[in-house]
C-alpha cells in the first residue's frame, strides 16, 4: 500500500498494531554518498523472518515504502536496511533524513519473495536498491553452506562502488534505454546456472526483471525456480 488517506493509515495502525513494531535508529553508516546503512533496534524479538522478506515504513502521514533488511536478528532485537538515496521521491528523502535516536514503527516483515533452502545455489539479480537483499541472501548462504552469486546493475555514476559481498557479486553498467542489457551478457557467459540447482531472486527495476526472467525462461530455467519482486518502476510512485 504505497499511499492511503491519513485517517485510514491511523486506523490501520490501531487495528493491526501487532504488525507495527516500535524501533529506534541506533546507528547510521554511509557505505558511500548514496548508500546509507541504518540499524534499527527494538520490539522485534518474537518476529519470524525469512531472508528475502521485506519491511515497510510509514514515510509520511499518507505514504508507505518497502525496504529489504540486510540483517534481521531477533536475538539482538536489531534490523539493518541499506537505503539507496536516489533523491527522486519521498521515500528517498525520508531515508536521507533518518538519524540516530529517531523513533519509528517498522511494519512487517512480509512480501512474496523469500530464501528457498532447497537450492544449493542462490542467484540475486537487482540494482542499487537490492544491495541489502544481496547481503541478506549471501549471509544466509554462508550460514547454510550453499553458494551465493550476485548480479547487480548500477547507474554509470555508481559503477565503482564496493558493496562488500566480494567477488561473488558481479556489477554491470545499467542502461535506461536497454534494461538489463549488460546483465544478460553476463548471464549468457555463466553456463553453470541453467540446470535445476539454482534459485533465482530477481529484484530492482521492473523492466530489467522482465527481460531477465524472459531470458531465463527461454534458457529452460523452470518457472518455479524464479522469484520476482519489482522494487521500482519509472513513473510509478512506491511499489
Ligand X SMILES: Cc1cc2nc3c(=O)[nH]c(=O)nc-3n(C[C@H](O)[C@H](O)[C@H](O)COP(=O)(O)OP(=O)(O)OC[C@H]3O[C@@H](n4cnc5c(N)ncnc54)[C@H](O)[C@@H]3O)c2cc1C
Q: List contacts with ligand X (CB under 6 A).
A: 54, 65-68, 81-84, 86, 88-92, 111, 128-129, 132, 229, 231-232, 234-239
Which long-range contacts link 156-159 to residues 24+ away (Cβ below 8 Å)? Answer: 158/32, 158/34, 158/128
C-alpha to C-alpha distance for 40 and 104, rounded to whole angstroms: 9
HSE value, Cβ hemisphere, 13 Å, CA-based, for 80: 21
Q: Which is nearer to ligand X, 21 or 205 (CB)?
A: 205
Q: Which is nearer to ligand X, 132 or 150 (CB)?
A: 132
Q: Which is nearer to ligand X, 207 or 237 (CB)?
A: 237
- Tell me how far, at minimum, the Cβ of 83 lies from ligand X, in Å: 5
Here the cell at position 31 is 557505505
C-alpha to C-alpha distance for 128 and 47, rounded to whole angstroms: 27
- Tell me how far, at minimum, the Cβ of 126 lies from ligand X, in Å: 9
- Tell me how far, at minimum, the Cβ of 87 lies from ligand X, in Å: 8
Q: Which is nearer to ligand X, 77 or 237 (CB)?
A: 237
Non-local (6+) Cβ contacts of 61 within 8 A are 6, 9
Q: Which is nearer to ligand X, 51 or 91 (CB)?
A: 91
- Tell me how far, at minimum, the Cβ of 67 lies from ligand X, in Å: 4
Grid coordinates 533524513 are at which residue?
97
- Tell me how far, at minimum, the Cβ of 179 lies from ligand X, in Å: 12
Amino acid at each position: 500500500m504505497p499511499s492511503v488517506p491519513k485517517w485510514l493509515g491511523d486506523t490501520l495502525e490501531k487495528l493491526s498494531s501487532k504488525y507495527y513494531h516500535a524501533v529506534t535508529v541506533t546507528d547510521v553508516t554511509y557505505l558511500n554518498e548514496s548508500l546509507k546503512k541504518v540499524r534499527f533496534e527494538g520490539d522485534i524479538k518474537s518476529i519470524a523472518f525469512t531472508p528475502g522478506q521485506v519491511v515497510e515504513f510509514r514515510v509520511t502521514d499518507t505514504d508507505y515504502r518497502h525496504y529489504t533488511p540486510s540483517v534481521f536478528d531477533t536475538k539482538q532485537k536489531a534490523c539493518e536496511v541499506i537505503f539507496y538515496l536516489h533523491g527522486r521521491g519521498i521515500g528517498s528523502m525520508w531515508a536521507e533524513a533518518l538519524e540516530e535516536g529517531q523513533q519509528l514503527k517498522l511494519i512487517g516483515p512480509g512480501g512474496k519473495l523469500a530464501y528457498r533452502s532447497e537450492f544449493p545455489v542462490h542467484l540475486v539479480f537487482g540494482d542499487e536498491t537490492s544491495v541489502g537483499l544481496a547481503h541478506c541472501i549471501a549471509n544466509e548462504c554462508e550460514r547454510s553452506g550453499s553458494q551465493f552469486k550476485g548480479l547487480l546493475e548500477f547507474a554509470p555514476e555508481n559503477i565503482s562502488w564496493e558493496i562488500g559481498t566480494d567477488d561473488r557479486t558481479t556489477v554491470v553498467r545499467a542502461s535506461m534505454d536497454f534494461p538489463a542489457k549488460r546483465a544478460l551478457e553476463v548471464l549468457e557467459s555463466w553456463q553453470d546456472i541453467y540446470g535445476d540447482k539454482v534459485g533465482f531472486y530477481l529484484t530492482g527495476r521492473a523492466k530489467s526483471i522482465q527481460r531477465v526472467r524472459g531470458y531465463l525462461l527461454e534458457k529452460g530455467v523452470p518457472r518455479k525456480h524464479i522469484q520476482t519482486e519489482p522494487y521500482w518502476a519509472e513513473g510509478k510512485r512506491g511499489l
